[in-house]
Amino acid sequence: MNAEPKFYIGIDVSKPYFDVSLMTVVDHVKQPVESERFENTTLGIKLFEKWLKAKKVSFNKNSIVVIENTGIYHRLIWSFCSKKQLPIHIGNAAHIKWSFGIARGKNDKIDSIRLCNYAFKEADTLKESPALDSDLLLLKDLITTRTKLLKQVSSLRVSIKELSNVMQKSHHKLIVHSLKSAIDGLVKSIKNVENQIKKIVTENTAFQQNYNLLIGIPGVGPVTATYLIACTANFAGKPSGKQLACYAGVAPFEHSSGISVRGRTRVHRMANKDLKKLLHLCALSVIRYNQEFKTYYNRKKEEGKHSMSILNAVRNKIALRIAAVIKNQTSYKINYNIAA
């Protein structure tokens, strides 16, 4: 009996258009790769669907689409694949790039062909990305908006403070008066965004359930809990504690080779920097206000450990507790032994 044909689709996405390369495998024999370019618009998606149907591509498990995470530009393709139940893998750009090995030359068509070949070679290990969730997407966008607004407010306030040291009081007062309405408007916008974030979490049962579990963990507040839900797709991939710690950049890795390289154990620079920053604030909070973590910090300090090393260990412990609470779907128990 002849095996059903397999379809491997690599898509290189940019703001104005996306390049598609298709490899069809019939009876375990690879056919020549076919490529096409489409506009990254609703009309372009319709033409893309028509092209796939003309190539007799199966919209089921016999096909796989591979794209790199581009932030926002891949959303139309992601939405299309979710609606049509076409399996899609949204991969880390650095991981995919390194898998190519030494690669010479680069353009959009070549990149799509490389993604197509990557889909074929890694088909057995690729995890299908979850379907696009409109609530989750809106939550991410609101969190990003809040971060941008906070940076603008901070920038204006710092500017006012710095000018106070070099300007006449009358001139500085004029500047403060001129910027007051702008700062007040930004603060009001931040509150409105935070209310929208709270509304989304409250109205979504799955979000609300994990949110309530997260804020029960010492040090984890509403901002960190909401960000965790957004950046992990509400823990759709069920990450382990080590995976979450690695993603946040708080998991230490050995750095040695033979007898010549004897580097100290350290965290990797590739991480979700925003999550790492939030976990750092969580760690600062618990070593000050939580007796268990405070005792742990002081004990390690007396042993001669560096402050940042201890803080990173606390961040790691918080990440492990986050994963455990979500996995077990049970509230955090405050009598947990932190002697380790």
Same domain, 93 and 22: yes
Q: Percent of the chain scored above 90 by pLDDT?
A: 68
Q: Tell me the three state secondary structure of residue 107.
A: coil
Confidence at 100, pLDDT banded by 50, 70, 90: confident
Q: Which of 202, 237, 261 is the last residue of a domain?
A: 202
Determine the 3-state secondary structure of 133 from DSSP: coil
For 226-272, the three-class secondary structure string (H helix, E strand, C coil) is HHHHHHCCCCCCCCCHHHHHHHHCCCEEEEEECCCEEEEEEECCCCC
- Please report whether residue 276 resides in a domain: yes
Question: Are 240 and 299 part of one and the same domain?
Answer: yes
Cβ-proximal residues to 198 (8 Å cutoff; 6+ apart), any chain: 222
Q: Does residue 22 lie in a domain region?
A: yes
Question: Would you say residue 333 has pLDDT above 70?
Answer: yes
Residue environment code for 90-104, b if the CB has 16+ CB neighbours within 10 A, otherwise e = bbeeeebeeeeeeee
**Could you write out the DSSP letters of every residue in 170-211?**
HHHHHHHHHHHHHHHHHHHHHHHHHHHHHHHHHH-HHHHHHH
18/115 same-domain check: yes
Residue 141 to residue 149: CA distance in whole angstroms: 12
Alpha carbons 290 and 338: distance in angstroms, whole number: 12
Range from 2-6, 61-65, 223-227, 295-299 carrying the lowest mean pLDDT: 2-6
Q: Are residues 61 and 16 in the same domain?
A: yes
Q: Domain boundary residue among 202, 231, 252?
A: 202
Of the two residues 192 and 269, the one the predictor is more confident about is: 192
Q: Tell me the pLDDT band of 340, cut-offs 50, 70 and 90.
A: very low
On whether both 81 and 186 belong to a single domain, the answer is no
Instruction: Give CA–CA dist 20/112, Å, rounded.
Output: 6
57 lies in the same domain as 157:
no
Q: Which CATH number belongs to the domain containing residue 110 in this structure?
A: 3.30.420.40
- Whether 47 and 81 map to the same domain: the answer is yes
Q: Per the domain annotation, does 340 fall within a domain?
A: no
Residue 131 has pLDDT above 70, yes or no: yes
Share of the chain above pLDDT 70, in %: 92
Query: Where among 121, 142, 157 does a domain terminate?
Result: 121
Placement of tokens 């950049």 in the chain? 249
Structural domain harbouring 162: 134-202
Question: Which helix (DSSP H) or strand (DSSP E) does residue 36 occupy?
Answer: strand 34-39
With respect to residue 314, please indicate whether it lies within any of the assigned structural domains: yes
The pLDDT of residue 258 is: 65
Best CA proximity match to 89, nearest among 73, 67, 58: 67
pLDDT for 256: 61
Instruction: Please state the domain count of the chain.
Output: 3
Query: Bridge partners of 90?
Result: 67
12 plus 81 within the same structural domain: yes
Task: Let me know if residue 296 belongs to a domain.
Answer: yes
Asked if residue 129 is part of any domain, the answer here is no
Considering the domain architecture, whether residues 139 and 115 belong to the same structural domain is answered as: no
238-295 residue pLDDT tens: 899 999 999 898 887 765 666 665 666 666 677 789 999 999 999 999 999 999 899 9
Cα Rg for the chain, rounded, in angstroms? Answer: 25
Write down the mean pLDDT value for the chain: 89
- Has residue 148 been placed in a domain? yes
Rounded CA separation 43/155 (Å)? 40
Q: Is the dihedral of CA 168, 174, 177, 179 positive or negative?
A: negative
Same domain, 163 and 186: yes
109 and 84 together in one domain: yes
1 in any annotated domain: no
Please tell me the least confidently modeled range out of 28-37, 86-95, 188-197, 226-235: 86-95
Alpha helices in the chain (DSSP H): 42-54, 75-84, 93-99, 108-121, 134-163, 169-203, 205-214, 222-231, 241-248, 273-289, 291-302, 307-328
pLDDT class of 335 with cuts at 50, 70, 90: low
Determine the angle formed by the axes of helices 134-163 and 222-231, rounding to 10 degrees. 130
Same domain as 168, residue 94: no
pLDDT of 314 above 90: yes
